[in-house]
């Protein structure tokens, strides 16, 4: 099987030949893609944790403001 990398450059679709399936170049690109997917999942988890913390801080500030009014 032959592997090609399809990407956009300056608004055009460009196809780049990488080699046969087991070649070092194909393995390198596959490793980069896998790493990118890992980073994307870590980013998604971190963003959800940040949103949760922001909600907790907001709720905590409301709680503290209510105590000061009494």
What's residue 10's pLDDT? Answer: 94
What's residue 62's pLDDT? Answer: 66
Kindly list the domain boundaries of the chain, sorted by start residue. 23-70
pLDDT tens track, the chain, 70 positions: 899 999 999 999 999 999 999 999 999 999 999 999 999 999 999 999 999 988 888 887 766 666 655 5
CA dihedral in degrees (37, 38, 44, 50; nearest 10)?
-150
Alpha carbon 15 to its chain centroid, in Å, reads 24
| Neighbouring C-alpha atoms within 13 Å toward the C-beta of 20 | 2
What's residue 58's pLDDT? Answer: 83
C-alpha angle with apex 35: 15 to 22, nearest 5 degrees?
Answer: 55
What's residue 29's pLDDT? Answer: 93
């Amino acid at each position: 099987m032959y592997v090609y990398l399809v990407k956009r450059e300056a608004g055009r679709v460009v196809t780049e030949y990488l080699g046969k399936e087991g070649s070092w170049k194909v393995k390198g690109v596959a490793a980069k893609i896998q790493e990118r997917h890992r980073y994307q999942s870590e980013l998604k988890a971190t963003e959800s944790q940040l949103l949760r913390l922001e909600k907790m801080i907001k709720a905590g500030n409301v709680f503290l403001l209510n105590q000061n009014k009494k």
